[in-house]
Amino acid sequence: MLIINGKLITWDQPNQVLEGQALVIRDGLVAELGPQAELVARHPDIERLDARGQYVMPGNICAHTHFYGAYARGLAIPGPAPKDFPEILEKLWWPLDRALRMEDVRASAEVMLVDAIKHGTTTLIDHHASPNAIERSLDTIAEAVDLSGLRAVLCYEVTDRNGRDGARAGIDENVRFIRSQMANGRSRIAATFGLHASLTLTEETLEACREAVPQAVGFHIHVAEHEVDQYDSLEKTGLRVVDRLHRHGILGPHTIVAHAIHVDARESELLAESGTWVTHQPRSNMNNGVGVAQVESLMRLGVPVCLGTDGFSHTMWEEWKTAYLLHKVWNRDPRRMNGIDVVAMGVYNNAALAGQFFPGGPLGVITPGAHADLIFVDYHPHTPLTAGNVPWHIIFGFHESMVTATIVAGKVLMRNREFLTLDEEAITTRARQQAPGVWERYNAQF
Ligand SMILES: [Zn+2]
């Protein structure tokens, strides 16, 4: 395939904005990047995709999400509104995940995948929970991802909040899926080992997870999203959360820690020393009223901080904008969270993290040899857009509704806003038909 008439935003380091250049896509990769006239002359018979003057850029990457949260939209929480994050878990997320059957797991994933394609998010790192439908839940999600054409990293959250058997089933699901993924090697799907959070994990279960995880596979866990995670860890072990995870061998360059809001200086150092990835989800943190992660400080320490949605709509530029604004108001200093910092998280760190799971070429950049995960953006600025000022055009001018085409591994998933792999209407209809049942099973727990 030859992509012509696009203005390329490459997300190279340094970034480049290229006009008059075309891309040859072959075997899922960017095979050639060069002057359009030359490439058109050299490849007269190759299929062409005309970007018609739109921006062509790498697809967005979401470093932490929960497909299973789809049925929370519009759901009424019975009784008084939850007053803090522990109550949000107890009144919203835990009864909701217990209400999911396997068909709801599938429907949740499908609506989230539609959302991702529509909004130009091409790689998603998911963290799944469905305590009453654990076994093969990751296969169910993987099948939906496979059909969608997107790229995803999957795991099941191990927790002791559903008893010993629930914890064991979670461990088994992770191990089974990781091994099957290693064996069959679907190229757009990868696996990691999920853990809920220190506050719902016993010492025995953490140890069992450490023993069960296959070599060179890391973990994906929520850390210090609220102070309660620290209180619980100190009470159980006398250690703060990050110290506790470090002692269990959970940290490291393959492990993803979501949030890290209430970590102290030594915990931040431990994250840096161990090369652990941290993900920042400012919309979720604001919604839950849990505080602001000191991600600029973490990055100054050398912690690779990424950006995720935590199950909010897969609109990564919304997350960029929220991060950009939140840290300014929190610090009462408009110089904080520079556009460059947002790009460090949302582009370069996200690409480096996701790239670990998908070898065979760099991810999140337009360069020969890179994975061909691309989006077209119908944006026509009234001021100059340059390689240097792209972050502020995105923060103040881009909207995900401007995404008109989504391509993953060289396959077009959406063209002119028309879905080519998924049937949006059928998926939405099916999900909506199942919603009353999910909400009924949710409400039955109160
Ligand atoms: Zn989360």
What is the per-residue pLDDT across 166-209, written as a single tens digit (0 to 9) for each?
999 999 999 999 999 988 878 999 999 999 999 999 999 999 99
Closest CA to 247 of 209, 207, 290: 207
| Ligand 1 centroid to residue 259 C-alpha, Å | 8
**196 CA to centre of ligand 1 in angstroms:** 9
CA of 415 to the centre of ligand 1 (A): 31
If phi > 0 it is left, if psi is from -120 to 50 it is alpha, else beta; for residue 260 that is left
- From the CA of 362, how far away is ligand 1's center (Å)? 26
How far, in Å, is the centroid of ligand 1 from the Cα of 44? 48
Report percent pLDDT > 70 for the chain.
100
Coil, strand or helix: which one is 14? Answer: coil
Ligand 1 centroid distance, CA of 410 (Å): 30
Whole-number pLDDT of residue 184: 80
Distance 27 CA to ligand 1 centre (A): 34
Ligand 1 center from residue 106 Cα (angstroms)? 19
- pLDDT at residue number 173: 98
- Compute the distance from residue 65 Cα to the ligand 1 centre, in Å: 6
- Distance, CA 24 to ligand 1 centroid (Å)? 37
d(CA 398, CA 117): 16
66 CA distance to ligand 1 centroid (A)? 6
- pLDDT score, position 159: 98
d(CA 47, ligand 1 centre) in Å = 41
DSSP 167-183: HHHHHHHHHHHHHHHHH
Question: In which residue ranges of the chain is pLDDT below 50?
Answer: none
Largest CA distance in the chain: 70
Mind giving me the DSSP string for 282-343?
HHHHHHHT-----HHHHHHTT--EEE--TTS-S-HHHHHHHHHHHHHHHHT-TTSS-HHHHH
CA of 219 to the centre of ligand 1 (A): 13
- pTM here? 0.98
The Cα 186–Cα 409 span in angstroms is 12
CA of 285 to the centre of ligand 1 (A): 10
Q: Which two tokens stand for residue 4?
A: 């012509």
How far, in Å, from the CA of 70 to the mean position of ligand 1?
Answer: 13
Give Cα 54 distance to the centre of its chain: 25
pLDDT tens-digit profile of 136-145? 999 999 999 9
- Sign of the CA dihedral 77, 82, 84, 89? negative
Q: What's the burial of 379, exposed, middle or buried (CB within 10 Å: 0-12/13-18/19+)?
A: middle
Only one residue has tokens 């190759």, namely 46
User: What pLDDT score was predicted for residue 186?
Assistant: 83
Instruction: Using the mean position of ligand 1's atoms as its centre, give its distance from the Cα of residue 67 in Å.
Output: 10
